[in-house]
Structure 1
Amino acid sequence: MYYQAESYPSPGFPLRDPCSSFWLQNTRSSPLLGHRTTQSLPPSVDVVIIGSGLSGAATAYYLLTGSNCTESVLMLEAREACDGATGRNGGHCRPYTKSFAGYSDYKKIFGKEQALKIIASDMTNLHITSELIEKEQIDCDFWLGESYETCIDQEAADRKFRSYREFKDDGGPLDGIVKMTTDSDEAKRLTRMRNAVLTASFPAASLFPYKLVSHLLQLCISKYEFNLQTHTTVTAVTPAEPGLAGAGAKWTVTTPRGTIVANKVVFATNAYTATLLPEFLGNIVPGQGQCAAIVPTPSYSGNKMMEKTCCYSWGKDNFDYLIQRPKDGIIILGGGKANVSHPSTILGCTNDSGYPDDGGKQSEITEYLKNAMKKYFLGWQDSSSESGADSDEKRKSKGLRAGEGLLYDWTGIMGYTKDNIPFVGNVEGKPGAYVIAGHCGHGMARIASCAKGLAMLISGGSWADSGLPECFQPTRQRMRKSSSVSI
């Protein structure tokens, strides 16, 4: 679905009382709830990071552990730590989401070289994320395996395969990484999806996103004198008065609890970036997403659990995505946007309250997610393995057992860009102001590498040192391009 990006107003500030996701519900014992490292705000610091999701946490970690480690880092969060998109996503760390259907689009916008770099950066991110978790021994239910990219109608299959062929013809690394299956019967057998036309498998991972961020933040606090201040909304960032805090101070960061002067400011604010950086108005647009936690039936439990994560698509731009958590078997399913009767209620929305009557949740999506597994997956309610004298038909007619099916669904606010890639780097014309935002719902597959590269830039490195695609830079030329935004 495409909409004119310029037509949306400033996103404002994060909602004070958002709903609680599956991840957040299971971390009520976290020591970071309501955390403030110090009772008052420091008057000045080297770096202020606004936002405590994975973008902010990973940037802080790489700044504090790099070869040119930063002296003092302060993180300001409007709500609880990791209470935004990271704490509400699908738990998927999945490269190549756009490689087949999207490579051709990237090539048209950025050219072949940059399109290949965009795809390669996803795989780099998977390695960086895996290495970080292993190095710091982070207990975040990390699972490294493979994912299916499946088309469930011919239109999606044709588009995806054309882009796949173009990617391969342009030298995209597929051998030994991606396995394409075009035989429909084999695709159905592999994916257990009743309407599979083709599928491709490739490396991917799943994890508990809050646990990853929480570990990084607590590590930085305990080892590197990192200062985290929750429930401290940044209301403005303005140029500092000359000489206010000595040489190098460039920015005054204003909050209801006081002001801080900083040499550098990192805007890890994703959907809310334009509130503090007006030049991003229309360049990063908020969009509401919805995920569900689903208790599987016996046919998808125990040794019958899914072996891979997946994304399945149909039509031109419709898709859902899911993981099945190895630790407890719970399925996290996201998507359903194609079922909303008024899509304008999604794009531009910053309401993650979870209350359907005020736009905090889309009831059409809730109903869709509730029934999606039965609709798409073979044998979802097949209880034929149970003992008893009932016929298969009679047992199937009984439907779900009590406690199976939809457990809970929730909303989160993502940041979408007009060219479907994030903004990472120094904001042009504002020395010392850096952004890492606009992840288009693909943040887990990009943020670790973006944060590591950004930390290098903040510490004095060059863009080449960052290893990131040049097209990620927040240049005026890129932001001037008028286009629509896709959700």
Structure 2
Amino acid sequence: MAIRQVVDGQAGLPTPDSTKSYWHKEPSEKLLGHRTTADLPDKADYVIVGSGITGAFAAHFLKNGAGRAASVVMLEAREACWGATGRNGGHCQPFLYTAEPEAAHFELETYRFLRDFVAARQVPCDWQSRPGVHALLSEDLVGLVAAHIAVLQRTHPDIASQVELVRDGARLAGELRLPTARAAVVQRNAASLWPYKLVAHVLESLLAEFPSSPSSFNLQTATPVTRLERAAGSQTHPWTLHTPRGRVAAATVLLATNGYTSRLLPCLSDIITPCRSQVAALTPPPVTTTTGVADISHSYVFFGTDPPHGRDDYLIQRPLSKEPTAATTTIGGRGGGGGGELILGGGREHARNMAVGEWRDDEVEPRVGAHLRAALPGTLDMSADPGSPAPPVRDRDDAPLEATFEWTGIMGFSRDHRPWVGAVPACAYPEPPTDTGTDTGTGTDGPGGLYLCAAYTGHGMPVAALAARAVVNMMTGTTTPGDGGEQPEKLPASWVMTEQRLRRARDEWDTIAEFERKGLMVIAGKPVSLVSST
């Protein structure tokens, strides 16, 4: 059968030579180059494409639930967790005040699930629960956010109680280290972590518990799926996955492919758009403290509405060294000697076309890199005692910081700004169905055994793990029992993939490129302008 021609906006395969992520500097010896079996299995009950947080937790829920006795094969184009999860900014932070209420509850449950998962298993991923502070750098944005929080206080006080809008200048400049912010939103449920190590733990645990056998968990790295084909005439294994190393027949396929989804489902090229992010590990300025660097104490998002595009940067600080160091010890000749690297992502307003449509992560853009190195001085007080007159030990307070790592990663942006989770309707199959008389393509029961869990629009960490649980429940026809007699939060109905939703997304929402050009943001599921008409 002929391979479908590449369509406009379609992503390519992950690039073989990617930029070096900070999170990949300590790769798992068990996972690097791992292939559970020397050859690809001929067939499997379940095939998961992608080994990031979605694929890993889908395998976890599958093998620790209804799929325990099933054969599960995971195909990864590069090394395990070498895509967006291994390239993000290290945040796990629900955006409670901008989300639709149903989504806010789901994100909060996902955050708590990951927090408890890490604690119960003692996952060595540097999880640090610390408040998330969203700096609002322009009055237009303060007005939008304040109005929506006021609505939440009336309609959903349980969500509103989780966030605080701070306008007091002394508190902004002091405790929150934001001398130039107009206001800030403080969210108590937020964390920083080493995301690659979390996923590596999940995958290593699966490999240890389910060694090679008919019911194994079989991980195959460096095995890109080049084509997905619906097999004619097969009732038990209706899908064939083509790779450079051979083919695998699958009873059920889950695409955990995020920004690369359109490579295998070209019909979704206008629905899930690849978008490149850029991140830098910055050496903090030295200050007179025991560790030599300031303890920032919060994670941050910096929002602004400077035309023509808004600023959207995000920051965490790596843990400080436990060993005391000289107050002015330097790293690389500039920064403090107590660890505490600053992981800053963003700057898409400086990228080509806002980085929309970019699916290659083998380059960094110099203009974005220059922004990231210079963005924090003047915006974040990095002195030992915020708000004090004593400046950091630096030649100039506005001097750019030094970057020890700069890397890029590919996000999957959703046209209607909600994840796509569930059975892929027949209208989005990679090829016309061979039995159109029986496939309606309108249900969510998986008419062809093909499922998708992707498109988090740069916000996957507080979503993906339990979205993976939800899609596994759909795949297996099971439900998840709640703890203590309580039912877990359901997947938001607006995230479920249907043919009708595809039509609505195309009819009612701009393409991602047009959305970004207009300078919009989404609050409570609706697009709003970042800049007032005045």
Q: Which residue number corresponds to residue 368 of structure 1? A: 371
Q: Which residue number corresponds to residue 237 of structure 2? A: 249
Match of 2:350 among 339, 346, 349: 339
**Given that residues 69 and 459 in structure 1 are in contact (C-alpha distance below 8 angstroms), is that contact kept between their aligned partners in structure 2?**
no
Q: Which residue number corresponds to residue 187 of structure 1? A: 172
Q: How does 1:236-275 map to 2 (within 5 A)?
A: 236-243=227-234, 247-275=235-263
Match of 2:124 among 120, 139, 151: 139
Match of 1:306 among 273, 296, 299: 296
| One-letter amino acid of the counterpart of residue 123, structure 1 | L
Q: Which residue number corresponds to residue 423 of structure 1? A: 420
- C-alpha separation in 2, matches of 1:415 and 1:68: 28
Deviation at 1:274?
1.2
Q: Which residue number corresponds to residue 109 of structure 1? A: none
Cα distance, 1:70–1:241 mapped onto 2, change above 3 Å: farther
SS of 1:179 mapped into structure 2: strand
Cα distance, 1:449–1:395 mapped onto 2, change above 3 Å: closer
Deviation at 1:38?
0.3
Give per-residue Cα distances to partners, 1:370-391, cap 9 Å, x unaligned.
11121312255999x9xxxxx9
Match of 1:349 among 345, 358, 362: 358
1:397 maps to 2:420: no
Deviation at 1:178?
1.8
- C-alpha separation in 1, matches of 2:472 and 2:391: 59
Q: Which residue number corresponds to residue 37 of structure 2? A: 38
Deviation at 1:72?
0.8
Q: Which 10-residue stretch deviates more, 37-46 or 159-168? A: 159-168
- C-alpha separation in 1, matches of 2:392 and 2:221: 54
Higher relative contact order (CA 8 A, sep 6+): 1
Deviation at 1:165?
1.4
Q: Which residue number corresponds to residue 438 of structure 1? A: 455
Q: How does 1:105-124 map to 2 (within 5 A)?
A: 115-124=100-109
Q: How does 1:85-104 map to 2 (within 5 A)?
A: 85-96=84-95, 99-100=96-97, 102-103=98-99
Cα distance, 1:256–1:183 mapped onto 2, change above 3 Å: same
What are structure 1's unaligned runs of at least 5 residues? 1-6, 104-114, 355-360, 386-390
Deviation at 1:127?
0.9
**Given that residues 287 and 393 in structure 2 are in contact (C-alpha distance below 8 angstroms), is that contact kept between their aligned partners in structure 1?**
no
Give per-residue Cα distances to partners, 1:179-219, cap 9 Å, x unaligned.
22122332222221121111121210111011011111111
SS of 2:408 mapped into structure 1: strand
Deviation at 1:82?
0.7
- C-alpha separation in 1, matches of 2:285 and 2:380: 11
Q: Which residue number corresponds to residue 318 of structure 2? A: 325
| One-letter amino acid of the counterpart of residue 210, structure 1 | Y
**Given that residues 297 and 400 in structure 1 are in contact (C-alpha distance below 8 angstroms), is that contact kept between their aligned partners in structure 2?**
no
The total of aligned residue pairs comes to: 449
Deviation at 1:67?
4.8
Match of 2:192 among 202, 206, 211: 206
**Given that residues 63 and 70 in structure 1 are in contact (C-alpha distance below 8 angstroms), is that contact kept between their aligned partners in structure 2?**
no
Deviation at 1:444?
0.6
- C-alpha separation in 2, matches of 1:194 and 1:300: 20
Q: Which has the higher helix share?
A: 1
SS of 2:205 mapped into structure 1: helix
Give per-residue Cα distances to partners, 1:201-253, cap 9 Å, x unaligned.
1210111011011111111111023100011111112222324xxx5222111
**Given that residues 297 and 405 in structure 1 are in contact (C-alpha distance below 8 angstroms), is that contact kept between their aligned partners in structure 2?**
no
Q: Which 10-residue stretch deviates more, 312-321 or 462-471? A: 462-471
SS of 2:242 mapped into structure 1: strand
| RMSD (Å) for aligned C-alpha atoms | 2.8
Give per-residue Cα distances to partners, 1:145-201, cap 9 Å, x unaligned.
211112122111111111211222221524652222122332222221121111121
| One-letter amino acid of the counterpart of residue 139, structure 2 | Q
Deviation at 1:70?
5.0
**Given that residues 373 and 401 in structure 2 are in contact (C-alpha distance below 8 angstroms), is that contact kept between their aligned partners in structure 1?**
no
Give per-residue Cα distances to partners, 1:403-455, cap 9 Å, x unaligned.
96322211111100112111111112343111111011101111111111112
| One-letter amino acid of the counterpart of residue 335, structure 1 | G
Q: Which residue number corresponds to residue 164 of structure 1? A: 149
What is the identity percentage for the equivalent residue pairs of Structure 1 and Structure 2?
Answer: 32
Q: Which 10-residue stretch deviates more, 458-467 or 255-264? A: 458-467
**Given that residues 299 and 382 in structure 1 are in contact (C-alpha distance below 8 angstroms), is that contact kept between their aligned partners in structure 2?**
no
**Given that residues 91 and 209 in structure 1 are in contact (C-alpha distance below 8 angstroms), is that contact kept between their aligned partners in structure 2?**
yes
Q: Which 10-residue stretch deviates more, 475-484 or 230-239? A: 475-484
SS of 1:123 mapped into structure 2: helix
| One-letter amino acid of the counterpart of residue 176, structure 2 | T
**Given that residues 48 and 262 in structure 1 are in contact (C-alpha distance below 8 angstroms), is that contact kept between their aligned partners in structure 2?**
yes
**Given that residues 90 and 323 in structure 1 are in contact (C-alpha distance below 8 angstroms), is that contact kept between their aligned partners in structure 2?**
yes
1:215 maps to 2:218: no
| One-letter amino acid of the counterpart of residue 92, structure 1 | H
- C-alpha separation in 2, matches of 1:440 and 1:184: 32
Q: Which residue number corresponds to residue 474 of structure 1? A: 497
Q: Which residue number corresponds to residue 388 of structure 1? A: none
- C-alpha separation in 2, matches of 1:449 and 1:279: 26
What are structure 2's unaligned runs of at least 5 residues? 1-6, 211-215, 321-338, 426-440, 442-446, 481-486, 517-534
SS of 2:190 mapped into structure 1: strand
Cα distance, 1:290–1:143 mapped onto 2, change above 3 Å: same
**Given that residues 288 and 384 in structure 2 are in contact (C-alpha distance below 8 angstroms), is that contact kept between their aligned partners in structure 1?**
no
Superposition TM-score, scaled by structure 2 size: 0.78
Give per-residue Cα distances to partners, 1:106-140, cap 9 Å, x unaligned.
xxxxxxxxx21011111011011112222333111
Superposition TM-score, scaled by structure 1 size: 0.86
| One-letter amino acid of the counterpart of residue 9, structure 2 | P
Deviation at 1:467?
1.5
- C-alpha separation in 1, matches of 2:160 and 2:414: 31
Deviation at 1:395?
6.2
